[in-house]
Amino acid sequence: MLDVSRRQHTAPFDTDRLDRLMDEAGIDVLVATSKHNVQYLLGGHRCFFFESMDAMGLSRYLPVFVYAKGEAAKAGFFGHRMENFENEVTPFWVAELNVKSSGSVDAMKKAVDYVRQLRPQAKRIGAELAFLPADAMAVLQKALPNSEITDALFVFERLRAIKTPDELRMLRIASDAVIDSMQAVFKNHGAGATKNELVEALRREETSRGLTFDYCLITAGSSLNRAPSDQRWEKGEVLSLDSGGNYHGYIGDVCRMGVIGEPDAELVDLLAEVEAIEQASMKPIRPGALGREIYASAGVPLQKSKLHNHIEFLAHGMGLVSHEAPRLTNSGPVPYDAYDADRPLETGMVISVETTLKHPQRGFIKLEDTVVVTPTGFEVYGDRIRGWNRAGAA
């Protein structure tokens, strides 16, 4: 039997901050159902059985975390029966726990029964609409017909925006491991290797370093196509590896460049232009600086470049989610508003800065870095192998 005395009823996040965010949004109760937010709220838990899948039998895995404003001591978690094993190892901190479900409907039924106990007259329920299946949503609406169901994405995003020291440690580990993996791939491959082979090699390298491989966007030669394929990397051609590997859910997302043979003078100059924009973008990063200063600073060398029409700069938040807060632009490839552009950066925020040159002849040349706002400025995680990495170089 579980020794419930081992369970510590202390929230692993800033409950005062969450209560303020809920109050500002007019939300009485939160119902979290995404893996990443449930992990955050439970202090690191990701169900081992459903790490890479959700489907199970006739339904799917759906973790449900319930939090009523101002009542952190009464938070509840409703999960799959497999999660009882993990609870036996490290008891979950919540006061109300039920890990006896098998699918989305029964998990949500148990959760809404608890919501009705906590706040029977709740006016507004915050849910993760993009991570709530239709059958579970129907259960929620039927059980609480007098409550408005609203999207809580903004509340969760703002809660996660400032990283704890432990979160920063995991982001550093992830970033360093991706860089080390890329360096190994550049070193161990050369002319004739296909993009499929290179991506698979990167997958193995990241996995061997304790990461979960998420993706690799890869280009070779003059092509701008970033999908893995049977295209071969040949002598004199450039190669870009842009990969996300995560450590316990925290994403290391960086991009580095390789070449077979010695880079010619043009390639050296092109990568130097990309690097100049990257470095310029980082200069204003510090607590109190406005988010838009990053774009303004990057724009100075970008606009001076003769190739400015072929260069793209992007800055976005990183953590458990790629492109999370701070949100710095409304014109990037992932649509969202520029909420943080005119707000001050805060210590503990994490920003990915990326500069891409889509050269008409030489191909895709890019650098991407993970930058942390520190009390005195910034720090770059994985700040290595920034130049041309030679294929097969020792």
By the 8 A CB rule, do 378 and 352 touch?
no
Going 75 to 13 to 329 to 254, the CA torsion angle's sign is: negative
Q: Per the structure block, which two tokens stand in for 18?
A: 């969450």
pTM (two decimals)? 0.94
DSSP annotation of 327: P
**SS3 assignment, position 260:** coil
Residue 251, burial from CB neighbour count under 10 angstroms (0-12, 13-18, 19+): buried
The domains found in the chain, sorted by start residue, are 4-160 (3.40.350.10), 165-390 (3.90.230.10)
pLDDT of residue 8: 59
Q: Per the structure block, which two tokens stand in for 12?
A: 């692993």
Q: Per the structure block, which two tokens stand in for 388?
A: 């041309």
**pLDDT beyond 80 at 378:** yes
pLDDT digits (tens, 9 = 90+) for 183-231: 999 999 999 999 999 999 999 999 999 999 999 999 999 999 999 999 9
pLDDT of residue 1: 28
Per-chain mean pLDDT for the chain? 95
Nearest to 315 by CA among 285, 364, 347, 354: 354
pLDDT of residue 2: 33
C-beta atoms surrounding 51 within 10 Å: 10
Is there a cis peptide before residue 287, judged by omega within 30 degrees of 0?
A: no
pLDDT of residue 149: 97
By the 8 A CB rule, do 314 and 354 touch?
yes
